[in-house]
Each structure stands twice: as C-alpha cells, then as structure tokens.
C-alpha cells in the first residue's frame, strides 16, 4: 500500500480557477521544489516571515494554530521541513477513509477533488493510482492537480491516467492540471519555473490551464513573455490572471485591477474566493 505525507485534508469551496465555487475536498501533500519567498515583496527582496514563525515552532501543534503570512508562500508549512512534524504519513487507504468521512454525505455527490501542495506532482505520483482506485473513491468524477508546472509526469502515471480517456472504461473521470507557473515576482528563477514542454505533456492526459499571480505591471509583462513561451511550445489551454494576496488587505488592493487587466487582454480572471469568504485561514 502506498503512502502520502498529508499536510492538510479539508472540505471547502474551490476559490480559484476553472472550478471556482465548486464544493471540493482539498488534499494537500507535503513537499515542494520551490520556496516562493518573493510574493508580496519589492522585486529582488525575499520575505522572512516564515523565519520569524519558525523561531516559535514549539508554540504550534496543529495547522490551525499557525499564523497566516502576507508575503511569501501562503502554504509554507506544507513544504518547509521545520514544520514537517505537522504532516502525518498515511497509507492511501487511510486517506480515502478520511476523505469519505469529511464528505457531507459520506459519499461522492457533486464534489470535486483538489490535490494540491506544496507541489503534488513530486514523488507522490506513485501513490495516486492506489488512492484514486480505492473503492471509496469510485464516485469521484473530477480531479484537479494544482501544480507549479515543473514536474514531469511519470510514464506509469500517464499510463494510469490515459485509461480514463478510453471509450470502453465503465467510468468517466475528468482530470485538470491547474498550472500556477511562477513568475519572477515569486523569487524563483525563470529557467527553473517556466517549463513549457512539461506543461504541454499534461494536455495529453487532461485539461490544463495556466494561472499567473499578478501584482504589478511588470508581473503582467512577465506573464506575457511566459504565455508566448508556452504557446510556442504548443500549449492550447486557457490562461487566467489572479491577484496576489493571501490576506484580505493585500488581495483587496489588487483584485479589481487584475480583473481589468484580464478583460483588457482577453484573458480569464481567477478570483481567490477563499480570501474574502474565509480569510484564507488554514483548512479553507
Ligand atoms: S510552488 Fe506553490 S507551494 Fe511551492 S513554494 Fe511556491 S507557492 Fe508555495
């Protein structure tokens, strides 16, 4: 039986992208290949909010007790090794049981599953066939991987996903890759973060779209360069612009301007409904 290191598992409303507003189970896996300490900071500077929180690590026993941050990655505890003790390693059968327990009817209705992170396409790919093939997951129809778009799909995982597209399978599942490609405002290097060939491959097994976090005109100019790179590699999916803002004060400064920028450029706007609805608290 495969195992997953589970940072968070909760039921909420999907606040971003294609499934905005859809009731969803969020499975947040532990681990990421990035740190994204540049979000919300002046260009070239890195946030140290997590460093300050980590100094008080003994004060926090659960995710719900952790402070929110207004700069850097808002899900820092799902990849920073200093917080790894908050994320249990569970076998996929225990994860399937826990998912069914938090579904309001204890079985799938119209809910969608979001596998997020951290970066959920790191080594955990090998565990997903066990999880998604578990009898308790049989009624699940729609799955989104929220990825940073840098991880290749393994041949084994591709083989597993491709079967859902065969006409003779007796169930129907839709898979989506929500690719939040990291622009320089994240603090990550362009050559590490913008991987068009990898993202194009996601389109062979499901629907993929790009989602760029925007705070400034410079971010939008970077997004345009990235979009051109993805398109020239053959990427066909939709593109969303999403305002920066893991806390309401930052989100409220940006959302209308980013919506207008999306309209002006014929791109889609993604809100972050979890911020106005739930203050982006852990578990929402
Ligand atoms: S890729 Fe996502 S989870 Fe990883 S550090 Fe960046 S924002 Fe956080």
What's the pLDDT tens digit per position in 29-39? Answer: 999 999 999 98
Q: Tell me the CA distances in angstroms from 138 to 103, 162, 175, 180, one per residue in order.
A: 14, 17, 14, 28
Output the pLDDT for position 101. Answer: 97
Residue nearest to atom 6 of ligand 1 (CA): 36
The rounded Cα 52 to chain-centroid distance in angstroms is: 25
Say which residue, 277 or 169, is predicted with more confidence. 277
34 CA from centroid of ligand 1 (Å): 6
* CB of 117 sitting under 6 A from ligand 1: yes
Output the six-digit token pair for 102: 């938090």
pLDDT digits (tens, 9 = 90+) for 78-92: 999 999 999 999 999
Task: Determine what percent of the chain falls in helix, strand and coil, rounding each to the nearest 5.
Answer: 40, 20, 40
| Whether residue 192 has pLDDT greater than 90 | yes
Instruction: Report the nearest atom of ligand 1 relative to the CA of 117.
Output: 3
* CB of 185 sitting under 6 A from ligand 1: no
Q: Closest Cα to residue 282, out of 39, 22, 93, 28? A: 28
Question: SS3 of 174, please?
Answer: strand
Instruction: Report the nearest atom of ligand 1 relative to the CA of 188.
Output: 6
Output the pLDDT for position 70. Answer: 86
Which of 17, 31, 34 is the pocket-test mutation for ligand 1 (most atoms within 8 Å of CB)? 34
- Triad 247, 251, 20: Cα angle to 5°: 95
pLDDT digits (tens, 9 = 90+) for 215-240: 889 999 999 999 999 999 999 999 99
Question: SS3 of 207, please?
Answer: strand
Output the pLDDT for position 246. Answer: 67
Q: For residues 104-131, give the mean pLDDT.
A: 96
- Triad 218, 220, 224: Cα angle to 5°: 115
Asked if 238 and 268 touch (Cβ cutoff 8 Å), the reply is yes
Q: What is the pTM of this model?
A: 0.95
* CB of 36 sitting under 6 A from ligand 1: yes
* CB of 33 sitting under 6 A from ligand 1: no
Share the mean pLDDT of the chain: 93
Q: Looking up tokens 């345009």, which residue turns up?
A: 224
pLDDT digits (tens, 9 = 90+) for 131-180: 999 999 999 999 999 999 999 999 999 999 998 877 666 667 999 999 99
């Amino acid at each position: 039986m495969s195992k997953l290191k589970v940072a968070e598992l909760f039921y909420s409303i999907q606040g971003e992208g294609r499934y905005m507003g859809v009731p969803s189970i969020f499975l947040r896996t532990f681990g990421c290949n990035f740190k994204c300490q540049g979000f919300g900071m002046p260009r070239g500077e890195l946030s140290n909010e997590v460093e300050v929180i980590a100094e008080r690590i003994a004060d926090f026993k659960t995710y719900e007790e952790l402070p929110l941050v207004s700069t850097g990655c808002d899900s820092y505890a799902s990849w920073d090794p200093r917080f790894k003790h908050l994320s249990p390693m569970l076998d996929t059968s225990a994860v399937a049981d826990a998912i069914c327990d938090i579904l309001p009817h204890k079985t799938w209705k119209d809910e969608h599953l979001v596998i997020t992170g951290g970066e959920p396409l790191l080594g955990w790919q090998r565990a997903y066939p066990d999880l998604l093939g578990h009898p308790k997951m049989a009624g699940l129809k729609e799955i989104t991987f929220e990825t940073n778009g840098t991880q290749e799909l393994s041949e084994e995982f591709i083989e597993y996903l491709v079967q859902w597209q065969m006409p003779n399978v007796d169930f129907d599942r839709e898979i989506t890759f929500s690719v939040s490609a990291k622009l320089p405002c994240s603090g990550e290097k362009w050559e590490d973060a913008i991987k068009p060939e990898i993202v194009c491959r996601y389109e062979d097994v499901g629907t993929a779209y790009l989602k760029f976090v925007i705070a400034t005109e410079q971010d939008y100019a970077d997004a345009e360069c990235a979009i051109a790179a993805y398109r020239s590699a053959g990427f066909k999916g939709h593109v969303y612009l999403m305002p920066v803002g893991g806390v309401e004060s930052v989100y409220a400064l940006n959302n209308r301007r980013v919506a207008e920028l999306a309209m002006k450029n014929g791109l889609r706007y993604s809100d972050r409904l979890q911020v106005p609805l739930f203050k982006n608290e852990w578990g929402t």
